[in-house]
Every structure is written in C-alpha cells, then in structure tokens.
C-alpha cells in the first residue's frame, strides 16, 4: 500500500516507518527536517513540511491509500499539536478522497479511563499530563466526528522493546491483570495490522501486555 505517516520521527513513528517498509509498503513521511529521520530506503519518501500547514499536509496525502498518525508533543507543551495537526489531516483526507485513518492515542481516554489505577486517574492525567490529556481528548473528538474510516489505538505506557506480536487488544474494563504498558514496536505492529483488518473500524481498542 501507499502510506503516509505523520509523527514519523517520534519513537513510535520510527517503528511504523521501519515495519511498514519491511512489509513492502511505500511510505511517505512528512517531517520538519528530513535529517531527523535517519532511515533510508528506496520505498521511503521524506518530505519536509509542517503538519500545521494544511497545504503541506494535502500535498503528501494526495494519492495515498491510508494515513497513520503518531503525532506527539512534550507533556508541558500547550500548542495542541495533536488536535491542530489532526484537523489538517482530516481536511486533507476529505479533499483528496483518502478514507483510512489509523491514529495513535493513549489508554485512559473514554471508556478505558476506568482501567487506570487511582493515582494515574486522579493525579497524573488531570494534573501532570493535563495539557497532553486535553490534546488527546480533542484529537479523538475530531476523528470520531469525521466521516472517515478511522481506528483510534489506545496503548498503555509506551516502553522500548522488541516486537513480540503477543499483547492484549480491545479488552474490556474488567479484564485483569493488565501490565498497562506495551513496546512501541508492538504498537506499530498493531497499527499496521489495521490496514487489512477492519475489526476495529470506528472503534478505540486498548493495547497492553
């Protein structure tokens, strides 16, 4: 498939790029500086631009089969990068007739909030991560209100590690025990699987070991 990846220079985004190329896809990565993405490959196009510039976004989405969004920002960042960037992505997808969107979010939103331990639910998310929490929530709202073929992926705490292919997904709030963590490589694995599997179309599956 022809894929465009936003957030490709982030730690999860890099995994998406590597695994997508390993699977034979053609990948376009929009990045503010192509030198930040050290991967080189005949099927990888590195395009310099800004996700906050809708013209830049439209230019890379046109002609693609699907969009993978792994936008991120530092915890104290108040720019609402996820929301604003995703708004441009949605507009560009509609303009270009590209329908499939797979977006990285986080465990703890919507119905998965009840899974979180007390300390995370009532202190870390609303206090320490309040800006990121608002950004994620408003990003999810934009996607759900779009007419796109979307899947929002909600992983637990992202950690470094190998791709195992063995993790829980789409679990209920009552499922225990959950480690509430998962490697970025396994998150990328799950996101790419959604390109062919529509079981989670218009759904928000959680991911965890």
Per-residue pLDDT for the chain (209 aa), expressed as one digit of tens each? 999 999 999 999 999 999 999 999 999 999 999 999 999 999 999 999 999 999 999 999 999 999 999 999 988 889 999 999 999 999 999 999 999 999 999 998 877 777 887 778 777 887 778 888 899 999 999 999 999 999 999 999 999 999 999 999 998 877 777 899 999 999 999 999 999 999 999 999 999 99
pLDDT of residue 176: 72
State the pairing for strand pair 66-69/181-183. unpaired
pTM of the model: 0.93
* Residue 62 phi, psi dihedral angles, 5° rounding: -55, 125
Please state the length of the chain: 209
Q: For the chain, which domains are there?
A: 2-208 (3.40.50.720)
Give the separation between CA 198 and CA 194, rounded to whole angstroms.
6
With contact defined as beta carbons under 8 Å apart, do 85 and 52 qualify?
Answer: yes
Closest to 107 in 3D by CA, of 162, 167, 57, 161:
167
Q: How many other CB atoms sit within 10 Å of the CB of residue 184? A: 22
| Angle between helices 130-145 and 81-96 in degrees, nearest 10 | 20
DSSP label at 172? -
Q: For 32-43, what is the HEC assignment?
A: CCHHHCCCCCCC
Q: At which residue do the structure tokens 């992983």 appear?
A: 155
For the chain, the distance separating the N- and C-terminal CA atoms, rounded to the nearest angstrom, is 29
Which tokens sit at 186?
A: 């396994």
Report in angstroms the alpha-carbon separations of 192 from 13, 23, 36, 115: 11, 9, 22, 25
DSSP label at 126? I
pLDDT of residue 128: 79
Whether the ω angle into residue 157 lies within 30 degrees of 0, i.e. cis, is: no
């Amino acid at each position: 498939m022809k894929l465009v990846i936003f957030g490709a220079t982030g730690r999860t985004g890099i995994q998406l790029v590597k695994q997508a190329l390993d699977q034979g896809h053609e990948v376009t990565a929009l990045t503010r500086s192509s030198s930040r993405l050290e991967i080189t490959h005949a099927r990888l196009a590195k395009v310099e631009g800004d996700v906050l510039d809708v013209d830049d976004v439209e230019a890379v989405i046109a002609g693609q089969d699907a969009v993978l969004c792994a936008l991120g920002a530092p915890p104290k960042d108040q720019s609402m990068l996820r929301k604003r960037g995703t708004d441009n992505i949605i507009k560009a997808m509609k303009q270009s007739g590209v329908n499939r969107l797979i977006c990285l979010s986080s465990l703890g939103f919507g119905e998965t909030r009840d899974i979180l331990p007390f300390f995370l639910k009532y202190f870390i998310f609303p206090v320490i991560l309040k800006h990121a929490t608002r950004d994620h929530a408003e990003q999810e709202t934009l996607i759900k209100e779009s007419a796109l073929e979307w899947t929002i992926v909600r992983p637990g705490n992202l950690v470094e590690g190998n791709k195992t292919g063995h993790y829980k997904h789409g679990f209920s709030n009552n499922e225990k025990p959950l480690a509430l963590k998962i490697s970025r490589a396994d998150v990328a694995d799950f996101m790419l699987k959604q390109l062919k599997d529509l079981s989670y179309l218009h759904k928000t599956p959680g991911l965890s070991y």
